[in-house]
Structure 1
Amino acid sequence: MKIGLFFGTFNPIHIGHMVLANYLAEFSDLDEVWFVITPMSPFKQKKSMLSNHHRLAIANVAVEDFSKLKTSDIEFKLPQPNYTVHTLINLEEKYPEHSFNLIMGEDNLKGFHKWKNYETILENYHLYVYPRISEGKTESELLKHPKITIVNAPIIQISSTFIRKAIQDQKDIRTMLPPNVWKYIDDMNFYK
Protein backbone atom coordinates (compact mmCIF):
# COMPACT_ATOMS: atom_id res chain seq x y z
CA MET A 1 0.00 0.00 0.00
CA LYS A 2 1.26 3.48 -0.89
CA ILE A 3 1.03 5.78 2.14
CA GLY A 4 1.42 9.57 2.17
CA LEU A 5 2.76 10.96 5.44
CA PHE A 6 1.47 14.40 6.44
CA PHE A 7 3.55 15.65 9.39
CA GLY A 8 2.47 18.41 11.76
CA THR A 9 1.54 19.45 15.26
CA PHE A 10 -2.14 19.64 14.21
CA ASN A 11 -2.94 22.00 17.08
CA PRO A 12 -5.77 21.59 16.14
CA ILE A 13 -6.41 19.71 12.91
CA HIS A 14 -8.78 21.79 10.74
CA ILE A 15 -10.61 21.63 7.40
CA GLY A 16 -7.53 22.86 5.50
CA HIS A 17 -5.61 19.78 6.67
CA MET A 18 -8.58 17.53 5.96
CA VAL A 19 -9.23 18.88 2.45
CA LEU A 20 -5.58 18.48 1.48
CA ALA A 21 -5.25 14.95 2.92
CA ASN A 22 -8.51 13.79 1.39
CA TYR A 23 -7.60 15.33 -1.97
CA LEU A 24 -4.32 13.39 -2.00
CA ALA A 25 -6.06 10.17 -0.92
CA GLU A 26 -8.69 10.49 -3.64
CA PHE A 27 -6.91 12.22 -6.55
CA SER A 28 -3.32 10.98 -6.44
CA ASP A 29 -1.80 7.50 -6.58
CA LEU A 30 -1.63 7.37 -2.76
CA ASP A 31 -3.82 4.70 -1.16
CA GLU A 32 -3.96 6.38 2.26
CA VAL A 33 -2.78 9.54 3.99
CA TRP A 34 -1.54 9.33 7.57
CA PHE A 35 -1.44 12.38 9.82
CA VAL A 36 1.83 11.99 11.75
CA ILE A 37 1.35 13.98 14.96
CA THR A 38 4.59 15.69 15.92
CA PRO A 39 5.24 15.52 19.66
CA MET A 40 5.53 18.63 21.77
CA SER A 41 9.17 19.39 22.36
CA PRO A 42 10.05 19.20 26.05
CA PHE A 43 12.29 22.21 25.40
CA LYS A 44 9.64 24.37 23.72
CA GLN A 45 6.66 24.23 26.04
CA LYS A 46 4.00 26.51 24.60
CA LYS A 47 0.90 27.39 26.57
CA SER A 48 -1.24 27.18 23.43
CA MET A 49 0.03 23.68 22.54
CA LEU A 50 -2.26 20.88 23.62
CA SER A 51 -0.63 17.73 24.95
CA ASN A 52 0.38 15.00 22.51
CA HIS A 53 -2.49 12.84 23.75
CA HIS A 54 -5.15 15.52 23.13
CA ARG A 55 -3.88 16.48 19.66
CA LEU A 56 -3.86 12.80 18.67
CA ALA A 57 -7.38 12.33 20.09
CA ILE A 58 -8.67 15.31 18.09
CA ALA A 59 -7.03 14.00 14.89
CA ASN A 60 -8.55 10.55 15.54
CA VAL A 61 -11.99 12.15 15.83
CA ALA A 62 -11.39 14.05 12.57
CA VAL A 63 -10.52 10.93 10.53
CA GLU A 64 -13.01 8.47 12.02
CA ASP A 65 -15.40 8.68 9.03
CA PHE A 66 -12.67 8.58 6.35
CA SER A 67 -11.37 5.12 5.45
CA LYS A 68 -8.34 6.50 3.56
CA LEU A 69 -7.21 8.85 6.34
CA LYS A 70 -5.37 7.60 9.44
CA THR A 71 -3.33 8.99 12.31
CA SER A 72 0.07 7.97 13.62
CA ASP A 73 1.74 8.61 16.96
CA ILE A 74 5.01 6.93 15.90
CA GLU A 75 7.04 10.04 16.76
CA PHE A 76 5.77 10.00 20.38
CA LYS A 77 7.89 6.88 20.93
CA LEU A 78 11.09 8.13 19.27
CA PRO A 79 13.94 9.98 21.02
CA GLN A 80 13.76 13.78 20.83
CA PRO A 81 14.68 15.81 18.94
CA ASN A 82 13.41 13.60 16.17
CA TYR A 83 14.26 13.79 12.49
CA THR A 84 12.00 12.80 9.60
CA VAL A 85 14.61 10.35 8.29
CA HIS A 86 14.44 8.42 11.60
CA THR A 87 10.63 8.37 11.51
CA LEU A 88 10.70 6.97 7.97
CA ILE A 89 13.12 4.20 8.96
CA ASN A 90 10.97 3.32 12.00
CA LEU A 91 7.79 3.21 9.90
CA GLU A 92 9.47 0.96 7.33
CA GLU A 93 10.55 -1.44 10.08
CA LYS A 94 7.08 -1.47 11.63
CA TYR A 95 5.14 -1.69 8.33
CA PRO A 96 7.37 -3.42 5.75
CA GLU A 97 4.34 -4.06 3.51
CA HIS A 98 3.82 -0.31 2.86
CA SER A 99 5.76 2.21 0.81
CA PHE A 100 5.99 5.61 2.47
CA ASN A 101 5.97 9.04 0.82
CA LEU A 102 6.26 12.54 2.25
CA ILE A 103 3.64 15.25 1.86
CA MET A 104 4.95 18.77 2.32
CA GLY A 105 4.10 22.35 1.55
CA GLU A 106 6.05 24.24 -1.07
CA ASP A 107 7.37 26.46 1.74
CA ASN A 108 9.04 23.43 3.38
CA LEU A 109 10.64 22.44 0.11
CA LYS A 110 12.59 25.72 0.11
CA GLY A 111 14.46 24.66 3.25
CA PHE A 112 14.50 20.93 2.49
CA HIS A 113 18.24 20.98 1.70
CA LYS A 114 18.81 21.83 5.40
CA TRP A 115 17.02 18.69 6.67
CA LYS A 116 19.09 15.94 8.25
CA ASN A 117 19.97 13.38 5.56
CA TYR A 118 17.77 15.09 2.97
CA GLU A 119 19.70 13.35 0.15
CA THR A 120 18.85 9.95 1.65
CA ILE A 121 15.19 10.94 1.90
CA LEU A 122 15.12 12.05 -1.76
CA GLU A 123 16.91 8.91 -2.85
CA ASN A 124 14.49 6.55 -1.09
CA TYR A 125 11.16 8.36 -0.84
CA HIS A 126 8.81 10.25 -3.11
CA LEU A 127 7.70 13.78 -2.11
CA TYR A 128 4.25 15.18 -2.83
CA VAL A 129 4.48 18.98 -2.69
CA TYR A 130 1.37 21.15 -2.41
CA PRO A 131 1.24 24.90 -3.14
CA ARG A 132 1.19 27.58 -0.46
CA ILE A 133 -0.06 31.03 -1.50
CA SER A 134 1.65 32.96 1.28
CA GLU A 135 5.12 31.81 0.28
CA GLY A 136 5.10 32.76 -3.40
CA LYS A 137 6.60 30.50 -6.04
CA THR A 138 9.50 28.25 -5.16
CA GLU A 139 12.39 28.70 -7.58
CA SER A 140 14.16 25.49 -6.72
CA GLU A 141 16.03 22.92 -8.75
CA LEU A 142 14.33 20.39 -6.48
CA LEU A 143 11.03 21.05 -8.28
CA LYS A 144 12.49 19.23 -11.28
CA HIS A 145 13.66 16.23 -9.24
CA PRO A 146 12.13 12.94 -10.48
CA LYS A 147 11.06 11.96 -6.94
CA ILE A 148 9.07 15.17 -6.43
CA THR A 149 5.47 15.51 -7.59
CA ILE A 150 3.81 18.91 -7.49
CA VAL A 151 0.17 18.40 -6.50
CA ASN A 152 -2.39 20.90 -7.68
CA ALA A 153 -4.41 20.57 -4.48
CA PRO A 154 -6.96 23.16 -3.33
CA ILE A 155 -5.42 25.86 -1.16
CA ILE A 156 -7.28 26.79 1.99
CA GLN A 157 -5.80 29.73 3.86
CA ILE A 158 -6.59 28.68 7.42
CA SER A 159 -4.00 28.10 10.09
CA SER A 160 -4.18 26.40 13.46
CA THR A 161 -2.86 29.65 14.99
CA PHE A 162 -5.86 31.52 13.53
CA ILE A 163 -8.24 28.83 14.85
CA ARG A 164 -6.79 28.99 18.39
CA LYS A 165 -6.94 32.81 18.48
CA ALA A 166 -10.51 32.85 17.14
CA ILE A 167 -11.66 30.37 19.81
CA GLN A 168 -9.94 32.45 22.48
CA ASP A 169 -11.74 35.54 21.11
CA GLN A 170 -15.07 33.64 21.22
CA LYS A 171 -15.61 33.79 17.45
CA ASP A 172 -17.89 31.29 15.75
CA ILE A 173 -15.49 29.27 13.60
CA ARG A 174 -17.44 26.02 13.47
CA THR A 175 -17.26 25.96 9.65
CA MET A 176 -13.45 25.83 9.80
CA LEU A 177 -13.31 22.56 11.74
CA PRO A 178 -14.84 19.17 11.07
CA PRO A 179 -18.08 19.15 13.15
CA ASN A 180 -16.89 16.32 15.42
CA VAL A 181 -13.60 18.18 16.01
CA TRP A 182 -15.45 21.38 16.94
CA LYS A 183 -17.63 19.42 19.38
CA TYR A 184 -14.60 17.75 20.99
CA ILE A 185 -12.70 21.04 21.36
CA ASP A 186 -15.78 22.82 22.71
CA ASP A 187 -16.67 19.99 25.14
CA MET A 188 -13.10 19.96 26.46
CA ASN A 189 -12.90 23.79 26.69
CA PHE A 190 -9.66 23.79 24.70
CA TYR A 191 -7.97 27.04 23.57
CA LYS A 192 -10.27 29.29 25.65
Structure 2
Amino acid sequence: MSKKKSKKVGLYFGTFNPIHVGHLTIANHMVEYSALDEVWMVVTPHNPHKKKSSLLDNVHRLAMVRIALENYPKLKASNIEFDLPQPNYTVDTLIYLEEKYPEQEFSIIMGEDNLKNFHKWKNYEVILERYAIYVYPRISENKVPERFVDHANITKVAAPIMELSSTFIRNGIKEGKNIRPMLPQDVWEYLDEMNFYK
Protein backbone atom coordinates (compact mmCIF):
# COMPACT_ATOMS: atom_id res chain seq x y z
CA MET A 1 0.00 0.00 0.00
CA SER A 2 1.55 3.33 -1.06
CA LYS A 3 1.78 6.17 1.43
CA LYS A 4 -0.88 8.85 0.92
CA LYS A 5 0.50 11.81 -1.01
CA SER A 6 1.35 14.69 1.26
CA LYS A 7 -0.85 17.77 1.09
CA LYS A 8 0.97 21.10 0.87
CA VAL A 9 -0.41 23.46 3.51
CA GLY A 10 0.55 27.12 3.78
CA LEU A 11 0.27 28.69 7.22
CA TYR A 12 -0.90 32.30 7.20
CA PHE A 13 -0.50 33.68 10.74
CA GLY A 14 -2.30 36.76 12.00
CA THR A 15 -4.39 38.28 14.76
CA PHE A 16 -7.13 38.84 12.13
CA ASN A 17 -8.53 41.64 14.29
CA PRO A 18 -10.71 41.67 12.18
CA ILE A 19 -10.16 39.55 9.08
CA HIS A 20 -10.70 41.71 5.97
CA VAL A 21 -10.80 41.40 2.18
CA GLY A 22 -7.03 41.97 1.99
CA HIS A 23 -6.35 38.84 4.08
CA LEU A 24 -8.85 36.85 2.00
CA THR A 25 -7.40 38.05 -1.31
CA ILE A 26 -3.85 37.08 -0.29
CA ALA A 27 -4.83 33.68 1.15
CA ASN A 28 -6.92 32.83 -1.91
CA HIS A 29 -4.20 34.03 -4.32
CA MET A 30 -1.63 31.86 -2.52
CA VAL A 31 -3.75 28.72 -2.81
CA GLU A 32 -4.68 29.38 -6.45
CA TYR A 33 -1.33 30.63 -7.82
CA SER A 34 1.31 28.64 -5.94
CA ALA A 35 2.10 24.98 -5.24
CA LEU A 36 -0.09 25.03 -2.10
CA ASP A 37 -3.15 22.77 -1.82
CA GLU A 38 -4.59 24.56 1.22
CA VAL A 39 -4.01 27.66 3.29
CA TRP A 40 -4.65 27.55 7.03
CA MET A 41 -5.32 30.95 8.53
CA VAL A 42 -3.77 30.57 11.97
CA VAL A 43 -5.37 32.96 14.45
CA THR A 44 -2.65 34.04 16.87
CA PRO A 45 -3.90 34.16 20.46
CA HIS A 46 -3.89 37.13 22.74
CA ASN A 47 -0.56 37.17 24.54
CA PRO A 48 -1.50 37.21 28.24
CA HIS A 49 1.66 39.20 29.04
CA LYS A 50 0.78 42.02 26.67
CA LYS A 51 -1.90 44.60 27.37
CA LYS A 52 -3.80 45.00 24.14
CA SER A 53 -7.25 46.35 24.76
CA SER A 54 -8.09 46.66 21.04
CA LEU A 55 -7.57 42.90 20.49
CA LEU A 56 -10.86 41.01 20.52
CA ASP A 57 -11.12 37.72 22.39
CA ASN A 58 -9.67 34.70 20.59
CA VAL A 59 -13.12 33.13 20.21
CA HIS A 60 -14.55 36.14 18.31
CA ARG A 61 -11.57 36.54 15.97
CA LEU A 62 -11.69 32.81 15.18
CA ALA A 63 -15.46 33.01 14.61
CA MET A 64 -14.98 35.85 12.09
CA VAL A 65 -12.28 33.90 10.22
CA ARG A 66 -14.57 30.85 10.06
CA ILE A 67 -17.45 33.01 8.78
CA ALA A 68 -15.20 34.64 6.15
CA LEU A 69 -13.95 31.28 4.84
CA GLU A 70 -17.31 29.53 4.50
CA ASN A 71 -17.27 29.71 0.70
CA TYR A 72 -13.55 28.96 0.29
CA PRO A 73 -13.01 25.18 0.58
CA LYS A 74 -9.21 25.45 0.17
CA LEU A 75 -8.93 27.95 3.05
CA LYS A 76 -9.26 26.77 6.68
CA ALA A 77 -9.48 28.60 10.00
CA SER A 78 -7.03 27.28 12.60
CA ASN A 79 -6.95 27.79 16.36
CA ILE A 80 -3.90 25.53 16.73
CA GLU A 81 -1.94 28.15 18.70
CA PHE A 82 -4.67 28.68 21.32
CA ASP A 83 -3.57 25.63 23.30
CA LEU A 84 0.18 26.09 22.97
CA PRO A 85 2.14 27.58 25.90
CA GLN A 86 2.55 31.36 25.73
CA PRO A 87 4.59 33.18 24.63
CA ASN A 88 4.65 30.97 21.57
CA TYR A 89 7.07 31.01 18.63
CA THR A 90 6.45 29.99 15.02
CA VAL A 91 9.13 27.28 15.22
CA ASP A 92 7.22 25.64 18.14
CA THR A 93 3.96 25.74 16.18
CA LEU A 94 5.64 24.10 13.17
CA ILE A 95 7.08 21.28 15.31
CA TYR A 96 3.70 20.74 16.98
CA LEU A 97 1.87 20.65 13.62
CA GLU A 98 4.38 18.20 12.15
CA GLU A 99 3.76 15.78 15.02
CA LYS A 100 -0.03 16.21 14.88
CA TYR A 101 -0.36 16.02 11.07
CA PRO A 102 2.58 13.94 9.78
CA GLU A 103 0.90 13.51 6.37
CA GLN A 104 0.90 17.28 5.67
CA GLU A 105 3.79 19.31 4.29
CA PHE A 106 3.75 22.70 6.03
CA SER A 107 5.14 26.00 4.83
CA ILE A 108 4.84 29.62 5.92
CA ILE A 109 3.18 32.53 4.15
CA MET A 110 4.51 35.97 5.01
CA GLY A 111 4.59 39.50 3.68
CA GLU A 112 7.80 40.92 2.29
CA ASP A 113 7.93 43.26 5.30
CA ASN A 114 8.14 40.22 7.62
CA LEU A 115 10.90 38.67 5.52
CA LYS A 116 13.03 41.74 6.25
CA ASN A 117 12.94 40.91 9.96
CA PHE A 118 12.92 37.15 9.57
CA HIS A 119 16.50 36.85 10.86
CA LYS A 120 15.19 38.06 14.26
CA TRP A 121 12.76 35.13 14.60
CA LYS A 122 13.55 32.38 17.08
CA ASN A 123 15.48 29.56 15.29
CA TYR A 124 14.92 31.19 11.91
CA GLU A 125 17.78 29.11 10.39
CA VAL A 126 15.94 25.89 11.30
CA ILE A 127 12.71 27.19 9.78
CA LEU A 128 14.50 28.27 6.60
CA GLU A 129 16.28 24.93 6.24
CA ARG A 130 13.20 22.75 6.83
CA TYR A 131 10.23 24.70 5.45
CA ALA A 132 9.25 26.50 2.29
CA ILE A 133 8.35 30.17 2.70
CA TYR A 134 5.91 31.88 0.34
CA VAL A 135 6.28 35.64 0.27
CA TYR A 136 3.71 38.16 -0.96
CA PRO A 137 4.67 41.75 -1.84
CA ARG A 138 4.21 44.67 0.55
CA ILE A 139 5.05 48.32 0.01
CA SER A 140 8.09 49.02 2.18
CA GLU A 141 11.19 51.17 2.22
CA ASN A 142 13.58 48.60 3.68
CA LYS A 143 15.40 46.06 1.54
CA VAL A 144 15.24 42.31 2.09
CA PRO A 145 18.56 41.05 3.53
CA GLU A 146 20.81 39.62 0.80
CA ARG A 147 20.78 36.09 2.30
CA PHE A 148 17.01 35.82 1.64
CA VAL A 149 16.97 37.22 -1.90
CA ASP A 150 17.64 34.05 -3.93
CA HIS A 151 17.18 31.41 -1.24
CA ALA A 152 16.01 28.03 -2.56
CA ASN A 153 13.27 27.73 0.11
CA ILE A 154 11.82 31.21 -0.42
CA THR A 155 9.26 31.65 -3.20
CA LYS A 156 7.96 35.07 -4.15
CA VAL A 157 4.34 35.01 -5.25
CA ALA A 158 3.10 38.00 -7.24
CA ALA A 159 -0.06 38.49 -5.21
CA PRO A 160 -1.93 41.79 -5.46
CA ILE A 161 -0.55 44.44 -3.10
CA MET A 162 -3.21 45.03 -0.46
CA GLU A 163 -2.38 48.00 1.72
CA LEU A 164 -5.42 47.50 3.90
CA SER A 165 -4.94 47.04 7.61
CA SER A 166 -7.10 45.85 10.49
CA THR A 167 -6.00 48.97 12.41
CA PHE A 168 -7.39 51.20 9.64
CA ILE A 169 -10.69 49.28 9.79
CA ARG A 170 -10.91 49.43 13.60
CA ASN A 171 -10.26 53.17 13.53
CA GLY A 172 -12.86 53.63 10.79
CA ILE A 173 -15.49 51.80 12.85
CA LYS A 174 -14.63 53.89 15.90
CA GLU A 175 -15.04 57.06 13.82
CA GLY A 176 -18.40 55.91 12.45
CA LYS A 177 -17.15 55.49 8.86
CA ASN A 178 -18.73 53.04 6.43
CA ILE A 179 -16.05 50.34 6.08
CA ARG A 180 -18.38 47.63 4.69
CA PRO A 181 -16.53 47.16 1.36
CA MET A 182 -13.35 46.24 3.28
CA LEU A 183 -14.90 43.24 5.04
CA PRO A 184 -16.65 40.08 3.87
CA GLN A 185 -20.39 40.81 4.24
CA ASP A 186 -21.01 38.17 6.95
CA VAL A 187 -18.01 39.41 8.96
CA TRP A 188 -19.33 42.97 8.78
CA GLU A 189 -22.74 41.80 10.02
CA TYR A 190 -21.12 39.88 12.91
CA LEU A 191 -19.05 42.92 13.93
CA ASP A 192 -22.00 45.26 13.65
CA GLU A 193 -24.31 42.99 15.66
CA MET A 194 -21.72 42.55 18.41
CA ASN A 195 -20.89 46.30 18.46
CA PHE A 196 -17.16 45.55 18.21
CA TYR A 197 -14.49 48.25 17.93
CA LYS A 198 -16.98 51.08 18.53
Partner of 1:57: 63
Task: Determine which of 33, 43, 47 is the counterpart of 2:39.
Answer: 33
User: Is the contact made by 2:11 and 2:40 (CA closer than 8 Å) also made in structure 1?
Assistant: yes
Determine if the alignment matches structure 1 residue 113 to structure 2 residue 119. Answer: yes
Identify the residue that residue 185 of structure 1 maps to in structure 2. 191
Counterpart AA for 1:55: R
2:18 matched residue in structure 1: 12
Match of 1:79 in 2: 85
CA distance in 2 between partners of 1:115 and 1:65 (Å)? 34
For this pair of structures, how many residues does the alignment match? 192
Q: Distance in 2 between matches of 1:45 and 1:116?
A: 22
Q: Which runs of 5+ in 2 are unaligned?
A: 1-6
Q: Which moved more, 1:91-100 or 1:136-145?
A: 136-145
Query: What is the deviation of 1:134?
Result: 3.3
Write out per-residue CA displacement over residues 121-154 of structure 1, whole angstroms, 9 at most, x where no aligned residue.
0111000011111345425321211000011100
Asked if 1:160 is matched to 2:166, the reply is yes
Q: Percent identity among equivalent residues?
A: 63
SS at match of 2:54: coil
Instruction: Tell me which residue corresponds to 1:42.
Output: 48
2:116–2:143: 8 Å Cα contact kept in structure 1? Answer: no
The within-5 A match list for 1:85-96 is 85-96=91-102
CA distance in 1, matches of 2:158, 2:147: 19
Q: Cα gap change, 1:180/1:135 in structure 2, threshold over 3 Å: closer, same or farther?
A: farther
Matched residue, 1:68: 74
Root-mean-square deviation (Å): 1.0
131, 138, 149: which one aligns with 1:132: 138
Asked if structure 2 preserves the Cα contact closer than 8 Å seen for 1:110 and 1:140, the reply is no
Aligned mates of 1:140, 1:182 — CA distance in 2: 41
Distance 2:166 2:34 in 1: 25
Contact kept? 2:172, 2:179, Cα under 8 Å: yes
Give per-residue Cα distances to partners, 1:16-57, cap 9 Å, x unaligned: 000000001111110011100111011112111101111101
TM-score by length of 2: 0.94
AA in 1 matched with 2:164: I
TM-score (norm 1): 0.97
